[in-house]
Amino acid sequence: MEKKQEKSDLMEKIVSLCKRRGFVFPGSEIYGGLANSWDYGPLGVELKNNIKSYWWKKFVHQRDDMVGIDAALIMNPKVWEASGHLSNFSDPLIECEKCHERFRCDDPHSPEATQEMFDHLTKKHSDVKHLVSSFKLIGENFTKPKQFNLMLKTFLGPAEESVNTVYFRPETAQAMFVDFKNVLTTSRKQVPFGIAQIGKAFRNEITPGNFIFRTREFEQMEIEYFIHESGWQEFFEHWKEQMNEWMREVGINLDLVHEVEISEEDRAFYSKRTIDFEFDFPFGQKELFGLAYRTDYDLSRHQKESGENLAYKDPQTGEEFIPHVIEPTWGVDRAMLAILVSAYQEDGERVYLKLKPSMAPYKVAVFPLLANKPQLVEKAREIYDLLRKDMNVAWDDRGNVGKRYYAQDEIGTPYCITVDFDTLGEKGEELKDTVTVRDRDTAKQERMKIGELKAYLKEKIG
Ligand code: GAP
């Protein structure tokens, strides 16, 4: 019980820190908001960009078997017919007979679902309380589950007619299959190779919630890695290791990550193996990322439906085949939440985000000891301008230095530099042009020559 309370407190603290410090705001707030939509503020966009650029660097730039694309969000609806999304991409939904509120419900008889339905009735419809003893939820108070398609529809062109119906992509993956041939011919890659993409995806989720964990508009980072069927196990293991390595490198606490093997009956019918990486979020163990062996299902479907030949001819053996695919997939928003949960630390009064320097929105903050001493401000400005050429730097001259340290700790800035009277040479030549550099995690300070700062920070931040 106590643990549960602590965890929900942790979630509240993280949500509050995110709003207060400009990581994540409620979307459209001045108009009363829009349920479950969130805007990333000045610090949130930095953290999110750091997540994405580290991913791109590791999986695209640092490998010679990978290339990237950035495809249109809205694709020809035939794509979604071929992929099966139009007929199969749905969640089971039940509806309250009284108020028609809808719930996602995989198994209406599971204890969790029953509890949720029971809570709904007792909280919203107290007049049905007497039913509790002879409780028959499904059929009496709730409809039977029906399938609800999660694709978000819109119309292209001036007429809102069904011929103009299109869909916002529910995953970035399909563009990598649809563009497979173009990428192959223009990049001259050979199988095995992969295509990577980062971008928005949209799903009309029945029950969004838990802050940025499940939203209707979110961002994915996906790889479709094309292989010969014979190598699938080896490449599956390779990508499992790569995903673990990436999580460690961006600061996701691996002690909170669980690799869950998805059983045959729960897997997508075309997948021969799927692993979910689940994370101990404060609201429970939930899916963070996924890894699937999708066989040759996607390219075969697109070949059949488009009429294009999507086979690959091995230049060495001459063998012609439809490549099979290993798909590692990440949600950017869930990555950010897992990083924040992993980084959140309390040390007495002090709250700090122990972010990896590569992820921190600001790499360093620069302060003049006193804001009303022009010489201090001028010197601090010089350092600020010098460092800003290479990294994102914060400036703060409000209040006292202790408060400024705490404010930077809370947003995860790994280093703070203070320009004081020693810097100006007031205590002699020896300390002239030196500053204090304070480390976020140890709260210890050391003195350093201004000329050495850049190299020191570059080494620490990477
Ligand atoms: N192409 C495969 C695919 O899309 P998925 O498991 O449905 O697989 C991949 O989604 C990842 O996208 C998830 O592991 C999760 O990180 C993220 N994701 C999925 N739905 C989401 C939502 N409604 N809100 C935020 N992130 C979501």
Averaged pLDDT for residues 274-300: 98
Model confidence pLDDT, tens digit, residues 411-449: 999 999 999 999 999 988 999 999 999 999 999 999 999
Paired with 297 in beta bridges are: none
- Ligand 1 in reach of 55 Cβ (< 6 A): no
Instruction: Write phi, then psi, for 151 (nearest 5 degrees).
Output: -70, 135
Distance 4 CA to ligand 1 centre (A): 26
DSSP-derived pairing of the beta strands 364-368 and 324-331: unpaired
Instruction: Grade residue 6 by pLDDT with cuts at 50, 70 and 90.
Output: confident
pLDDT at 284 over 90: yes
DSSP, collapsed to helix, strand or coil, labels residue 390 as coil
Ligand 1: does its nearest atom lie under 6 Å from the Cβ of 415? no
Chain-centre distance for alpha carbon 332: 2
**Which amino acid is residue 392, in one-letter code?**
N
At residue 128, does pLDDT exceed 80? no
pLDDT for position 130: 54
| pLDDT greater at residue 106 or residue 460 | 460
Question: What pLDDT score was predicted for residue 79?
Answer: 98
CB 84 within 8 A of CB 301: yes
Kindly state the tokens that stand for 317.
């053996």
Mean pLDDT of 340-362: 97
Which residues is 419 bridged to in the sheet?
368
pLDDT tier at 135, thresholds 50, 70, 90: low
C-alpha closest to that of 360 among 425, 441, 289: 441
For the chain, give the percent of residues with pLDDT over 70: 97
Whose Cα sits closest to atom 24 in ligand 1? 214
The secondary structure element, H or E, covering residue 196 is strand 193-202
Q: What is the pLDDT of residue 134?
A: 47
pLDDT tens readout for residues 76-88: 999 999 999 999 9
Q: pLDDT for 190-223, tens place per residue?
A: 999 999 999 999 999 998 999 999 999 999 999 9
Q: Is 287 in the pocket of ligand 1 (CB under 6 A)?
A: yes
More confident residue, 150 or 5: 150
> Residue 418: left if φ>0, alpha if ψ -120 to 50, beta else—which one?
beta
User: Hunting for tokens 């035939």 — which residue is that?
Assistant: 78
- Nearest-CA neighbor of 328 among 362, 301, 363, 293? 293
What's residue 90's pLDDT? 87
| 394 within 8 A of 365, measured Cβ to Cβ | yes
User: Which amino acid, residue 201?
Assistant: A
Instruction: Tokens 């139009």: give the residue.
Output: 86
The finding on whether 294 has its CB within 6 A of some atom of ligand 1 is no
Residue with token string 């301008």 = 385
Q: Does residue 1 surpass a pLDDT of 60? A: no
Separation of CA 144 and ligand 1 centre (Å): 26
Q: For ligand 1, is residue 334 a contact (CB within 6 Å)?
A: yes
Distance CA 434, CA 421 (A): 10
pLDDT at 7 over 80: no
Mean pLDDT of the 171-180 span: 98
| Domains detected in the chain | 2-80+171-343 (3.30.930.10), 90-149 (no CATH), 362-461 (3.40.50.800)
Q: What pLDDT score does 223 carry?
A: 99
Whether 100 has a pLDDT exceeding 80, the answer reads yes
What pLDDT is attached to residue 146? 87
- The contacts of residue 310 (CB under 8 Å, 6+ apart) are 180, 181, 299, 300, 302, 303, 322
Q: What's the gap in Å between 267 CA and the centre of ligand 1? A: 15
Average pLDDT over residues 395-421: 97
What residue type is 305 in one-letter code? Answer: E
Q: Tell me the mean pLDDT in the region 404-409.
A: 97
Q: What is the mean pLDDT of residues 270-297?
A: 97
Q: Is pLDDT of 160 > 70?
A: yes
- Strands 146-149, 273-281: parallel, antiparallel or unpaired by DSSP? unpaired
State the pLDDT at residue 136.
64
In sequence order, the 6+-apart residues with CB closer than 8 A to the CB of 434 are 422, 423, 447, 448, 449, 450
Mean pLDDT for the chain overall: 94
**Ligand 1 centre and the CA of 207: distance in Å?**
14
Tell me the DSSP string of 288-340. EEEEEEEETHHHHHHHHHH-----EE-TTT--EEPPEEEEEEEEHHHHHHHHH
Q: What confidence tier does 129 reach under pLDDT thresholds 50, 70, 90?
A: low
Q: Is omega for the bond preceding 192 within 30 degrees of 0, making it cis? A: yes
According to DSSP, the residues that pair with 435 across neighbouring strands are 448
Q: Where are the beta strands (DSSP E) in 53-119?
A: 66-69, 90-95, 102-104
Cα–ligand 1 centroid distance for 118 (angstroms): 29
Q: Count helices and strands (H / E) in the chain.
A: 13, 23
Helix (H, G, I), strand (E, B), or coil: what is residue 454? helix
